[in-house]
Chain A
Amino acid sequence: MFGDYSISDLGAILAMQGFAGLILFSVYVLMALGLAIIFGQMGVINMAHGEFMILGAYVTWMTSNAVQHVAPWLFPGYFFIAMILAFIASGALGMLVEWALIRHLYKRPLDTLLATWGLSLILQQAYRSIFGAREVGVELPEWMMGSWQATDSIQIPINGMFVMALTILITIAVAYVLFWSSWGKQVRAVVQNRVMAGAVGINTEKVDRYTFGLGCGIAGIAGSAFTMIGSTGPTAGQLYIVDTFLVVVFGGAASLFGTIASAFSISQTQSTLEFFLSGSMAKVITLLTIVAILMVRPQGLFALKVRK
Chain B
Amino acid sequence: MSDETKPGLKSPLRRKLLMGMAALPAVSMLGRPAFADVPATSAVNTTGLAVTDSEVTVGILHSVTGTMAISETGSVEAEKLAIEQINAAGGVLGRKIKFIQEDGASDWPTFAEKAKKLLVNDKCAAVMGCWTSASRKAVLPVFEQYNGMLYYPTFYEGLEQSKNVIYTGQEATQQIIAGLDWVNKTKGAKSFYLLGSDYIWPRTSNKIARKHIENHLQGCKVVGEEYFPLGSTQFNSVINKIKLTKPDVIYAIIVGGSNVAFYKQLKAAGIDLSKQTLLTISVTEDEIDGIGGENIAGAYACMKYFQSLDNPNNKAFVPAFKKMWGEKTVIGDVTQAAYLGPWLWKLTVEKAQSFDIDKIAAASPGVEFKGAPEGYVRIHENHHLWSKTRVGRAKADGQYELIYETADLVEPDPFPKGYQ
Tell me the A residues contacting B by CB distance below 8 Å.
5, 9-10, 13, 16-17, 19-20, 23-24, 27, 125, 128, 132-140, 145-147, 149, 155, 157-160, 226, 228-236, 238-240, 270-271, 274-275, 278-280, 282-283
Contact = CB atoms under 8 A, between A and B. Distances in A.
B19 to A, nearest CB: 44
Given A149-B270, A160-B268, A279-B228, A23 B236 contact: yes
A139 B69 contact: no
A235 B268 contact: no
Contacts of B225: 278
Nearest to B256: A231
Contacts of B236: 19-20, 23-24, 157, 160, 271
A271 to B, nearest CB: 5
Given A135-B287, A229-B234, A279-B238, 5 more contacts: A125-B65, A137-B291, A279-B228, A279-B237, A280-B227
Contact of A137 (B73, B229, B261, B289): B289
A65 to B, nearest CB: 12
A145 B295 contact: yes
Interface string B57-74: 000000011110110010
Interface stretch (B24-32, B86-94, B240-248, B349-357): B240-248
Contacts of A125: 65
Nearest to B287: A135
Main secondary structure of the interface of B (DSSP, over half): helix
20 contacts: A16-B240, A16-B269, A20-B236, A20-B239, A128-B65, A155-B269, A228-B264, A229-B261, A230-B260, A231-B256, A231-B258, A232-B290, A233-B290, A238-B231, A271-B234, A271-B236, A274-B237, A278-B226, A278-B227, A279-B238
Contact of B292 (A24, A138, A235, A236): A138
Given A16-B240, A236-B257, A135 B70 contact: yes
B286 interface: yes
A238 B264 CA distance: 19
A129 to B, nearest CB: 10
B64 A134 contact: no
Interface residues of B, number: 47
Nearest to B237: A274
Nearest to A17: B240
A280 B291 CA distance: 23
A134 B289 contact: yes
B69 A283 contact: no
Given A133-B69, A146-B268, A279-B226, A231 B238 contact: no
B73 to A, nearest CB: 5
Nearest to B295: A145
B85 interface: no
B244 A230 contact: no
A226 to B, nearest CB: 8
> Among B257, B265, B268, B288, which residue has the most Cβ atoms of chain A within 10 A?
B268
Nearest to B65: A125
A230 B269 CA distance: 14
Given A230-B260, A279-B232, A133 B290 contact: no
A133 B289 contact: no
Contacts of A146: 267-268, 270
> Among A133, A145, A226, A271, which residue has the most Cβ atoms of chain B within 10 A?
A133
Nearest to B259: A231
A229 B233 contact: yes
Given A157-B265, A229-B233, A238 B290 contact: no
